[in-house]
Structure 1
């Protein structure tokens, strides 16, 4: 069946498709720190310097890896991604929903919109399912060694990628095309045909944006985490999301 229209499913990663933070499965243990210690150092640095916490966690990753003599190549981060655990059913989700869409004549595009590290996501078993992974990433020198943030994605600038998807602009670099006026009927994916799936406060601006423009936002929670559902349910009460369900 020829697709009648396109729908974009946009996912956060940590806490949405996978329990916990992606750095905690391999990278943080490899640098000899506890999860609490690593994040405390990164967040304390942000507070001391009045800096963005995403940039300081990326800086701490480089510093910690160098201090332990660990590889900072893209391939090393991708290898860490192979150790990331997914929520039950995530691996099968994409083929199931794609098949459902095909039966209904709907083309479904999947996107990641994450404050996590793109290179780690690229190493996960589901990386090939996504049309585009919007996430933090590093710049690499001529020897392929990460030395500086290339893209830092925090809770507010996550929203820029919603507009890029809306207009079919996949390049992070391209700020000209995404700001060009395009009539609503000519846009790649209208907001009303977007579904945003996220798990926490960093996703609220995106979830609210999609919902306000006629799309649907879904807040998910870890069913094994006590009190998580009650916390997420407040997002419905505050009119920030359409639905709340277990991840």
Structure 2
């Protein structure tokens, strides 16, 4: 069955930064964490994602701000989050209805590719909407008492790896048994979801490789920025629009009558119609 895929970043795309919310809950100075401590590591060569994961682990343990934090704790924290941007919780069913109206022989799938904490995202109430969630993962000590090591870190260009996995029909479970599965040669006409059937929505510079990949192969990309954050919004606008990486940039509002919400619905319908037209021609 032909499939339309809508892929989202998570933090500052579907809700405000969840890692910052976790830090704030435990009394950690969020501004200092990102602008001083993480920046200091980045300045000596750390990748941005590795920097923040190291700092999180340094704050885990007895008598430390995050205490004996476990992956289960992360999931519980995610379950308590209810700060989604407008329209997020209702758009999934709206988009499914749009695809079903075009053809009952089409499938619509949602994915998350995030540099945030996967266990936290998997705990959220919208996690059930997604066919797969890709994020940074942490491993616990041998007794399972607290997180201790980085298991997987998703960096800027690493995000495109998961677009290829979705494209080729490689499931997360497949990768556990075959770590290089993404490099498996699959003929273009046998790939499960062509890039041209994908729509990517993301907020930051970390999403630019995904935007570029989909643009090159006929897919769609929409940038999200928070206009209330003037400095970051201006930077995002400049970077997104440079070299025509995205179709357009919007505030994070997924309601049907908003700019982003309306465009996302139109694009899903456009992709679905294109698939049906292609089916009739073949």
TM-score using structure 2 length: 0.79
Q: Is the Cα contact below 8 Å between 1:54 and 1:152 reproduced in 2?
A: yes
1:108 aligns with 2:108: yes
Tell me by how many angstroms 1:230 deviates. Answer: 8.2
Alignment partners' CA distance in 1, 2:134 and 2:113: 5
Distance in 1, matches of 2:134 and 2:3, equals 19
Larger Cα-atom Rg: 2
**Aligned mate of 2:212, from 208, 213, 221:** 208
Matched positions, count:
241
Residues 228-237 or 91-100, more deviating = 228-237
2:240 pairs with 213, 235, 238, which one? Answer: 235
Which one of the candidate residues 14, 30, 34 is aligned to 2:11?
Answer: 14
Query: Which residue in the other structure is 1:96 paired with?
Result: 94
Tell me whether 1:182 sits opposite 2:186 in the alignment: yes
Aligned to 2:197: 193
CA contact (8 A) 2:68 2:147 kept: no
Indicate the structure with greater helix content: 2
Could you tell me how far apart the structure 1 residues matched to 2:56 and 2:188 are? 41
Check whether the contact 1:191–1:214 (CA below 8 A) recurs between aligned residues: yes
Shift of 1:231: 4.3
Question: What is the Cα deviation at residue 229 of structure 1?
Answer: 6.8
More deviation in 205-214 or 218-227? 218-227
Residues of 2 paired with 1:64 and 1:236: CA distance?
A: 37
1:82 aligns to what? 79
Does the 8 A contact of 1:31 with 1:65 survive in 2? no
The two structures have a TM-score, normalised by structure 1, of 0.90
Which residue in the other structure is 2:127 paired with?
127
8 Å CA contact retained: 2:204, 2:236 = no
Distance 1:230 1:150 in 2: 31
Greater CA drift, 75-84 or 90-99: 75-84
2:40 to 34, 40, 44: 44
Question: 3-state SS of the aligned residue for 2:224?
Answer: strand
Structure 1 distance, partners of 2:72, 2:95, is 30
Distance apart, 1:149 and its partner CA? 0.7
Moved more, 222-231 or 165-174: 222-231
Note the residue ranges of structure 1 that are not aligned, 5 or more in a row.
none
Q: Residue 143 of structure 1 aligns with which residue? A: 143
Equivalents in 2 of 1:231, 1:99: separation in Å? 32
1:234 is displaced (CA, Å) by 5.5
Cα RMSD of the aligned pairs, angstroms, is 2.0
Deviation at 1:191, TM superposition (A): 0.7
**Distance in 1 separating the partners of 2:239 and 2:156:** 19
Q: Deviations over 1:58-103 (max 9, x none)?
A: 1211221322362321111112213431101101111111121122
Q: 2:60 aligns with which of 56, 65, 77?
A: 65
**Inter-partner Cα distance in structure 2 for 1:101 and 1:159:** 25
* Aligned partners of 2:137 and 2:152 also within 8 Å: yes
Q: CA deviation at 1:236?
A: 3.3
